[in-house]
């Protein structure tokens, strides 16, 4: 005689066991703690700048959530699955807005559109790169990592659309508006901070263009000493600068979450974080993993939209923002 077994109800969830998955639960709690407590992760030389490293790639911590959820289901652990909700909620609170379109308008409604681009000192097509950033329609174009051989191409291609420009060291600013009071200040040897005032139809705007030194990840940890020194010197220049409408742009070789850059980013609004769609990752161009190119605002400038432009022949993506006074 054939016996029939009554099917169990509830599917996979009913077979979850409460006493398993301790390791998965612990990893989930640790992930949530990293997201919440990253400002307190040690970031000095003794800690090999671990805090800066974690903060540079902090949004990618969210990838741990589906991995841990899958592990919890494989272990059939209710406790682990419940624990995974913690980093999921924290990550959503921190970065959920990036999954939508935060734009409040676009260039057509803006008083000012700004582009900044590290053009790469080994760029094989500076003329094409210049045409690409000019096509964005931005009134202000900041370029970093300029070299003397390529500078002629940028000046030639941008002359018609952006007749006013100034170059200090390896950074430059092109404008459709007259520029006055331009100058350069060293922030570390061989790196100058450019400052100029753009005379727009609705009043002056102070523009800073910076390129902080590169960082390196190696056996000795995350080497950020020169960048951090430049950031401190840059912050001092910003404090001494004029009040009012101010735009700070450039390649910071760090994200706005990096605590080492807090002296610079404090008091500014990051356009991408305020109104950007997505994370606005800008480096490396082939597969961007971090937004190290920034457009920061203060003094009555409101971002309407922020975005990345299509790739050029640089290893960075250009980033743009439209602003309103």
Q: Are strands 112-118 and 140-144 parallel, antiparallel or unpaired?
A: parallel
Q: How far apart are CA 162 and CA 170, in angstroms?
A: 18
Beta strand ranges found along 154-271 (DSSP E)? 164-168, 171-175, 179-188, 191-200, 203-211, 216-218, 221-223, 246-251, 269-270
- What phi and psi values does residue 36 have, to the nearest 5 degrees? -85, -35
Q: Over the stretch 258-301, which tens digit does the pLDDT of each residue have?
A: 999 999 999 999 999 999 889 999 999 999 999 999 999 999 99
**Contact in structure between 280 and 108 (CB atoms under 8 Å):** no
Q: What is the pLDDT of residue 18?
A: 58
**Contact in structure between 186 and 225 (CB atoms under 8 Å):** no
Instruction: Decide: helix, strand or coil at residue 250.
Output: strand
**Both structure tokens of 216:** 């390196």
pLDDT average per 10 residues of sequence, the chain (325 residues): 52 56 95 97 92 97 97 94 97 90 76 98 98 97 97 98 98 98 96 98 97 93 96 97 96 97 96 92 98 97 96 98 96
Q: What is the pLDDT of residue 103?
A: 75
Q: What is the pLDDT of residue 105?
A: 72
Beta bridge partners of 161: none
Q: How far apart are CA 208 and CA 206, in angstroms?
A: 7
Beta bridge partners of 217: 222
Q: How far apart are CA 292 and CA 219, in angstroms?
A: 22
Q: What is the pLDDT of residue 4?
A: 53
Cα torsion angle, 259, 265, 269, 272, sign: negative
Q: What is the pLDDT of residue 16?
A: 55
Show Cβ contacts of residue 266 under 8 Å, excluding neighbours closer than 6 positions.
none
Whose tokens are 């990840």? That residue is 217
Identify the structural domains of the chain with CATH numbers, from first to last.
15-99 (no CATH), 107-324 (3.60.10.10)
Instruction: Decide: helix, strand or coil at residue 178.
Output: coil
Q: What is the pLDDT of residue 182?
A: 97
Q: Measure the CA angle with vertex 57, ends 37 and 172; round to 5°.
A: 120
**Both structure tokens of 148:** 């003397």
**Contact in structure between 131 and 153 (CB atoms under 8 Å):** no
pTM exceeds 0.85, yes or no: yes
Show Cβ contacts of residue 125 under 8 Å, excluding neighbours closer than 6 positions.
312, 313
Q: How far apart are CA 173 and CA 115, in angstroms?
A: 10
Q: How far apart are CA 18 and CA 16, in angstroms?
A: 7
Q: Measure the CA angle with vertex 154, ends 129 and 296; round to 5°.
A: 70
């Amino acid at each position: 005689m054939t016996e029939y077994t009554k099917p169990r109800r509830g599917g996979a969830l009913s077979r979850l066991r409460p006493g398993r998955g301790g390791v998965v639960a612990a990893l989930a709690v640790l992930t949530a703690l990293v997201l919440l407590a990253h400002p307190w992760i040690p970031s000095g030389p003794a800690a090999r700048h671990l805090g800066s490293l974690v903060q540079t790639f902090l949004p990618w911590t969210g990838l741990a959530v589906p991995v841990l959820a899958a592990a919890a289901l494989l272990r059939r652990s209710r406790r682990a699955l419940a624990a995974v909700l913690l980093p999921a909620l924290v990550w959503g609170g921190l970065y959920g807005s990036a999954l939508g379109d935060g734009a409040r308008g676009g260039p057509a409604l803006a008083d000012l559109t700004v582009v900044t681009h590290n053009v790469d000192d080994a760029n094989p097509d500076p003329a094409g790169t210049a045409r690409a950033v000019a096509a964005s329609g931005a009134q202000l174009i900041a370029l970093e990592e300029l070299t003397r051989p390529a500078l002629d191409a940028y000046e030639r291609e941008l002359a018609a659309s952006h007749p006013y420009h100034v170059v200090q060291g390896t950074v430059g600013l092109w404008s459709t508006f007259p520029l006055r009071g331009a100058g350069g200040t060293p922030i570390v040897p061989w790196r100058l901070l450019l400052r100029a005032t753009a005379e727009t139809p609705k009043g002056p705007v102070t523009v800073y263009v910076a390129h902080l030194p590169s960082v390196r990840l190696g056996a000795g940890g995350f080497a950020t000493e020169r960048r951090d020194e430049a950031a401190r010197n840059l912050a001092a220049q910003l404090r001494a600068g004029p009040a009012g409408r101010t735009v700070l742009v450039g390649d910071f070789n760090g994200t706005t979450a990096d605590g080492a850059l807090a002296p610079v980013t404090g008091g500014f609004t990051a356009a991408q974080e305020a109104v950007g769609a997505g994370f606005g990752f800008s480096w490396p161009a082939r597969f961007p993993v971090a937004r190290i190119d920034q457009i920061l605002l203060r003094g009555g400038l409101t971002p309407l939209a922020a975005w990345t432009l299509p790739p050029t022949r640089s290893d960075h993506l250009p980033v743009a923002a439209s602003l309103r006074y």
